[in-house]
Amino acid sequence: MINKKILIYIIFILFTSPSLLADSNSIYSFTNVHAENESSNSLMAKELIIKEIIDNKFKLLLSNLTVDFNKSIINFDEIESEDFLKNLIIENEIITDKKYIADLEIHYNKKKIINFYKKNNILFSDSVSPNFLILPTYNFDGSYILWEKDNWKKIWNNLDNRNNQLIFTLPNLDNINKILLSSMDIFELNTINIEKILNYYNLQNSILLSASKEYNLNDNDIYINLLITYYNKDGGNLENIFSSKININYFTNKNILQELTLLSYENIFNWWKNKTITRFNKINNMICRIYVNDIKKLNHIKNKISSISHVNNTSIRSLNYNNSFIEIFYFGTKEDIKNIFILSKLNINFKDDKCLISHESI
């Protein structure tokens, strides 16, 4: 018999309207997951493969959410993934005598997962990044190569389904890219031309990657000099994400470019998580003035703020025409919450240590 918990979720999904289902783009969901298993008993094959996928995706989710997964004192292998399952959708199901094939949508319970992190005081981040324009180039043999060569773009596309927190755009293969930006612009961090290509793609944020081979005379070894830099057009600031000279022996040499891309992705993701940490060990509060003229807009703002994982709860302190006050109880420091509010596209300003919110752009 199929696992009772999984069966309950399957039955639940059949009687639940689509509007109540978890957002398919949520970082707490996995869509288009292919399941295929073969056994002497097709029902047993179904149970085994579904449980295996639920467990694997849950561990991937926890790995994405946990700021320092490897150093956590919690043994995630001992956690029952089905306890955090919200619903399961099975589509295109094919059952034969010995084989089971299906496509799955897996939705985990966001509230239960966040409560788990709160209870165990684990450093956590579920903030979705802005859209980063990835601008890579490399020089391994004396020639500067942009992203269109050696399948770099294909490698990045293959990483796109690892999680839904890191959003990025890859440049297309139009010749205008070469006119706007050269390999040397990336190596030399030429912000003038970086802004030109950001304008072309109508984006505000870019991440620049440059990799080059260097020969070290001291130890007679070859190194890959990898530099990852973040650039924000609004602030005009460059921020170092990762910089290191990596011994060539670190790589398998089967596909150095692929290994460099994976290493770059992991460092970018870890950098992003560390920028958006939720620290559950301390709760602070602040009172914000809200410039709105009706209760509907006020509730819209309140719901937007409450949806942020850093926010524990909110309460309306006073309600007046175009001048109301809301108290926000949040985890971490004031700098943490300021950063998250900005990243969440909340129209919040901090002036003279006072919090001011307006409805525009929310």
Of the candidates 66, 65, 107, the residue with the CA atom closest to the CA atom of residue 84: 107
From start to end of the chain, where are the E strands? Answer: 29-38, 85-95, 99-108, 132-139, 145-146, 168-169, 205-216, 221-232, 237-247, 283-291, 311-318, 324-331, 348-351, 354-358
Binning pLDDT at 50, 70 and 90, where does residue 5 land?
Answer: low
Q: What global pTM score does this model have?
A: 0.75
Binning pLDDT at 50, 70 and 90, where does residue 362 land?
Answer: very low
Contact 14, 71 (CB under 8 A): no
Quote the pLDDT of residue 47.
87
Percent of the chain with pLDDT over 90: 20
The SS3 of residue 28 is coil
So where are the chain's domains? Answer: 4-120, 132-275, 283-358
* Domain range 132-275, CATH architecture: 3-Layer(aba) Sandwich (3.40)
Quote the pLDDT of residue 359.
59
For domain 283-358, give its CATH number from 3.40.50, 2.60.40, 3.90.380, 3.30.70. Answer: 3.30.70
Q: Give per-residue burial for 298-336: e unless 16+ CB within 10 Å, then b.
A: beebbebbeebbbbeebeeeeeeeeebbbebebbbeeeb
C-alpha angle 69-89-116 in degrees, rounded to nearest 5: 30
Fill in the amino acid letter for 213: K
Which residue carries 């040397």 as its tokens? 184
Task: Report d(CA 117, CA 111) in Å as an integer.
Answer: 10
Binning pLDDT at 50, 70 and 90, where does residue 73 land?
Answer: low
Task: Report d(CA 258, CA 251) in Å as an integer.
Answer: 10
Which residue carries 């890191």 as its tokens? 166
Q: What is the pLDDT of residues 121-143, one digit of tens each?
A: 888 888 888 899 999 888 887 77
Of the candidates 220, 223, 197, the residue with the CA atom closest to the CA atom of residue 212: 223
Higher-pLDDT residue of 355 and 359 is 355
What does the mean pLDDT of the chain come to?
80
For domain 4-120, give its CATH number from 3.40.605.10, 1.10.101.10, 3.10.28.20, 2.60.40.420. Answer: 3.10.28.20
Which residue carries 């997962």 as its tokens? 113
Q: What is the pLDDT of residues 17-42, one digit of tens each?
A: 333 333 334 789 888 899 988 887 87
